[in-house]
Structure 1
Amino acid sequence: MELSMGIKSSMEFLRETFPRCSTSYSFTCKETAVDENLICAAVNRSQLQQTLATDNSSTALCSFTITEHACSVADQLAAQSLATLLKCSLESHTTYPVEVWKLFFQKVSPALDEALETFATVTPNNSSPAVSNALDALREARLANLSNAQLQSGTFIGDLVQRNIGPFLASPSTNFLFCLSSYNFSCLTYQIVVKGLSNQRELMNSSKQQAVFTYFIKPFLSRVGTPDAGCTSSTNGSQEWLQANLGGFASFATIQELQTLNPHLSTMDVLDLLTFSQLRQLATMPSHLKGMQDVSKVMGVIQSADFAAFFDTVSPVIEAQSANYTLEVKSTFLQAVLDRGDFSLPAVSDEEFLLWMRVRLRPLLVNLSSSLVKPFFSIGTNRSCYSHREIITVLDNVQMTLSKSTKENIYNNIVLFLQGVKCYSGGSFYLFLKNTFLSFGFPDVSTLISLLPPTRKSELLNTISTSELGQLLSQPGVINNSPDVCIIFSHYNNTATFLQSEDVPDDVRRTILPCVWPLALSSSSRSEVDLWFNVRLKDYLRFLTKELISSTEVQNASCLAFQKL
């Protein structure tokens, strides 16, 4: 007897611990064989009979075990005495094998229903291993022989669940649940049982709750060859179906399982009933997200505090299945983060921000819409320069997927960000700009000049080496306003070296010459004049115009320069 009980207990533990490893279809409903001679072999029957013959008090009743009662005169117990005995036995948490309980219930069968009703009024809730075995035995003694008419009667099953077995339902074994799933309930009576189990859910641990779904709900709603197997026609809409058929155990189903049980389920209609885990599952199934409205609904029920955990799951899937997620869907996910992400809060560290940029948001930036560029840059508000650099870097990593208008918007937002030379900390200003704009272009001369604070023009321009200045001015289209080039050379201290050493295109020389011509004309020593005309401007003089040698231009020239000219 003890060995049998130990094996059952171990099997029960394994089923509850690893519910996903053993599907309900691999089990059968097991009935308990009762051998009264074996159970009662060591019981002194006369002692109980003699005691109760003179003392029928609660104390006397409860001083004997269920085994002793089952092997003696249990069939003589009145309903009230039986209810008292059930209460004290179950409250003692003494565990008896299912075989003992079944023998006991068989003996007290005439008074059992009335006793259970009384017991339910005094002990509406009970949860312990002792109750679990009693419930198994009750099923075999009370439920197994019900007729189809009784199983499909809402009144009968309602009374049975509420007034007879209700207090025991917090401790269902996997065998009880699986056997229950095989009963010929109607959808109505099945839903009554689900409600009864749901009423006891708070007394169940997580593994028990999982077991209710795995071994009762899922098998029942997956019946083959039964009209309306999923009980979909008896409910009005997806919300009602989920609440009526899964009750308080819906959270233990995956989205795939819900869809299998009810192929017509509208996940968008039950979002507020889904758990956070189920919402994450839903978002990783692109077939469920038809467009912007669906994504907005999903994100509407996700708390902003849960965004990180949500996208830790969803973003890798979007990256792996990018082609299955439309641009509209990805943009709506991104918009929700930009609207509610609160990245400017001090609580979001640079490390956390980096994780958002490189992992969580990166898949959403592929084919980024031009309209989202400005909001995306705004998440760097009140953040460090490190964060701003990361914003541009992550966009640069996906730049091959971006449209021309999106790239132009990124360039314009970088220019806006750099106003006042923000985040420049020394070194070559040219390299700073190059490392900031990355593959999104480079500011033309006019834009570069506009970025320089008036009081820092000379300082910043003179951080640029002559070779860097040559590279800058040689870029196609960088000079769109000749006077701006002259502003550079009016503050640049290495003009002479630049002219001597840097080989720039002819159109650039033509633009530069008017800017440096006054310097050549004002040189006052012969050696300086020779350097200007023979060395520095050697490749520039062919671009002299009549305007540059007009009387207006040369009237302030030194005599030596004039003679050289």
Structure 2
Amino acid sequence: MPSLRPAYLWVIPKDISCASYMAILTGLQKTLKFPLPPELSMGINSSIEFLKETFPRCSTPESFTCKETVVDENLICAQVNRSLVQQTLAADNSSAALCSFTITEHACSVADRLAPQTLATLLKCSLESQTTYPVETWKLFFQKVSSSLNDTLETFATMTSNNSRPALSNALDALREVRLANLSDAELQSRTVIGDLVQRVIGPFLASPSTNFLFCLSSYNFSCLTYQIVVKELSNQRQLMNSDKQQAVFTYFIKPFLSRKESSDPGCTLSTNGSQGWLQANLGSFAGFATVQDLQTLNPHLSTIEILSELAPSQVAQLLISAGSSNDTTLIDLAFERLEKGDALENLDEFLTQLTANGQVLQFQTVVRDRAMTRAFYILRLHFLTFSSQELYLWFHVKLVTILASFTPQMLNSTISSMSCANYHVVVGGIAKVFPAIPLLRRQEIASVLLAYIRSSTSVINKPACRTGLETDVEWIETNLGPFSQYTTYSDLKAFNLSDVIILDSFSPTQLATFLLEPNNLSNENVVIMSFRRFALSASMANIESFFDTFVHGPAEQN
């Protein structure tokens, strides 16, 4: 097990059970309870981090443990020439000489004799070199300089800007064990102590937290006020973290801390005013990584309406899903007011993607769906002509599917009026998918809009480039009109030089009856025979009834 490296973990199937995940994780963690060569312990730590990031579904608070590092100085320093370091620095106290030796070599020799300014210079050049040392090495180094550690780190903070580097992560883990783990409860609950610690001492390292650092931090007996100081400082560093680190702050620190049942103020709900104040103080800039269910669990008294303006677009979608089907348009208006802040297109994309996540389709009440489509169109209308065919496909076939049945004829006309035939076909195909949910009158109006586009674009539509892949007239009708063709007439379709037989094949029973009732058609024996032969091939009882109902009553309605 100690020789297991992250690269070996790639072979683990992604669908393993969480029980198997825990068995592997527990085995890796147990190996760290024994002294190991630094390079092996660093490999195990990397494997643990990789495992947690690869299987987040199994990373529940119950599975977390705060790992402490075992330091064996003899093992770490076995290959170090201590006298060489001492002799060199005795003869040359320049920064170049200082930085020519590794942190390991300093930790094993004269680190405890160096002044804070010198130690800060050593930290600066070591971290700038991007050399990664095991947690054990950093812990030994910090233990050796513990008497001047605060002064050293405060000086170092003035010499470097905050940043996120892999080399800083292990150093931060070691600092927690040497500096934070020894704080008393009184110190952990002192705003002065914790404020100085996170801002001036470990601040330069704070953008590189490991999952173990974060979970260990969540187990400390902070008060709600000192916890909020830590959250604020982590929020200040968030832009320096990658998305995995940002998610980890919520998953491994914020959520476990606020979930503690033994606390006198579970969720830290008593130390803030209102839901928005609670969200900002306790989750800071990491609020977007929680689900709405997380937020409601952490604060049972949370007003989701009050915090809606602070939610991420995906969380706004989750809120609508949790609210269920309703005729109230107030919530959808508030949701879109939030989406229109900042990059409205990107926000709408994230919102709609969440609505259709995991194959779910939220069933909006019609009045709410109409409002949502109107607000979404307001955001999208200026972008349709800039979208590629692939982008249009994603919007009309995937993202808008929950509200597309409310796409009005006016919206359609505005969207397709200047479109290429390829993009027009994409739009028709998307709206065709929601055809069953579109009201009858709107279907008829959409058919009129589609016909108008085809008529005005005949010179384009009939070009070979626009008929690519359309080998028959049936395919032409399906691609250009979709199921809305049933709301057209024989005369409408005949104008496009389509085969009579093909046109008849595309007719609904009602259209066929209407066609036969047109002047000259009923008296044309060939037309009548052809029509009934085609109709008989696919006629059901419902179709026969529909046909004869129109056929019998049609003349009376015309007279």
User: What CA deviation, in whole Å up to 9, does each residue of 1:336-395 have, x standing for no partner?
Assistant: 2344442895446788767766655564366x69xx676667655556899999999998
| 1:177 Cα deviation from its structure 2 partner | 1.2
2:329 is equivalent to residue 292 of structure 1: yes
Q: Which residue of 2 aligns with 1:86?
A: 123
Change (3 A) 1:76 1:287: same
Q: Which residue of 2 aligns with 1:221?
A: 258
Secondary structure (helix, strand or coil) at the match of 1:192 reads helix
1:183 corresponds, among 220, 241, 263, to 220
What root-mean-square deviation, in Å, do the aligned CA atoms of Structure 1 and Structure 2 show? 5.0
Secondary structure (helix, strand or coil) at the match of 1:230 reads helix
Query: What is the correspondence of 1:325-340 to structure 2 with a 5 Å cutoff?
Result: 325-340=364-379
2:355 is equivalent to residue 314 of structure 1: yes
Q: Which residue of 1 aligns with 2:160?
A: 123
**Structure 2 CA distance for aligned equivalents of residues 134 and 399 of structure 1:** 60
Query: What is the correspondence of 1:23-38 to structure 2 with a 5 Å cutoff?
Result: 23-38=60-75
The letter for the 1-side match of 2:372 is: F
Q: Which residue of 1 aligns with 2:22?
A: none
| 1:149 Cα deviation from its structure 2 partner | 1.0
Q: Which residue of 2 aligns with 1:247?
A: 284
| 1:215 Cα deviation from its structure 2 partner | 1.4
Q: Report if the CA contact (8 A) 1:396-1:438 is conserved.
A: no
Q: Report if the CA contact (8 A) 1:392-1:436 is conserved.
A: no
Identity %: 53
2:105 is equivalent to residue 68 of structure 1: yes
Change (3 A) 1:341 1:45: closer
Change (3 A) 1:290 1:147: farther
Name the stretch that deviates more: 117-126 or 347-356.
347-356
Change (3 A) 1:223 1:115: same
2:345 corresponds, among 286, 305, 327, to 305
Change (3 A) 1:211 1:472: closer
TM-score, reference length from structure 1: 0.67
2:237 corresponds, among 187, 200, 208, to 200
Larger Rg: 1
Q: Which residue of 2 aligns with 1:522?
A: none
Q: Which residue of 2 aligns with 1:96?
A: 133
1:49 corresponds, among 70, 86, 93, to 86
Secondary structure (helix, strand or coil) at the match of 2:234 reads helix
**Structure 2 CA distance for aligned equivalents of residues 288 and 223 of structure 1:** 34
Change (3 A) 1:438 1:28: same
**Structure 2 CA distance for aligned equivalents of residues 73 and 472 of structure 1:** 96
Q: Which residue of 2 aligns with 1:7?
A: 44
Q: Which residue of 2 aligns with 1:542?
A: none
Query: What is the correspondence of 1:376-455 to structure 2 with a 5 Å cutoff?
Result: 381=417, 407-408=440-441, 411=444
| 1:173 Cα deviation from its structure 2 partner | 1.7
Structure 2's unaligned 5+ residue stretches are 1-36, 463-472, 496-502, 530-547
Secondary structure (helix, strand or coil) at the match of 2:65 reads coil
Q: Report if the CA contact (8 A) 2:435-2:483 is conserved.
A: no
**Structure 1 CA distance for aligned equivalents of residues 451 and 129 of structure 2:** 76
**Structure 1 CA distance for aligned equivalents of residues 378 and 353 of structure 2:** 18
Structure 1's unaligned 5+ residue stretches are 457-463, 480-487, 513-565
2:176 is equivalent to residue 139 of structure 1: yes
| 1:146 Cα deviation from its structure 2 partner | 0.5
The letter for the 2-side match of 1:314 is: L
The letter for the 1-side match of 2:78 is: A
User: What CA deviation, in whole Å up to 9, does each residue of 1:372-423 have, x standing for no partner?
Assistant: 6766676555568999999999989878767xxx645665786798799957
The letter for the 1-side match of 2:267 is: G
The letter for the 2-side match of 1:98 is: V
Change (3 A) 1:329 1:68: same
Figure out how many residues of one structure are paired with residues of the other and give that number.
473
| 1:185 Cα deviation from its structure 2 partner | 0.7
Secondary structure (helix, strand or coil) at the match of 1:96 reads coil
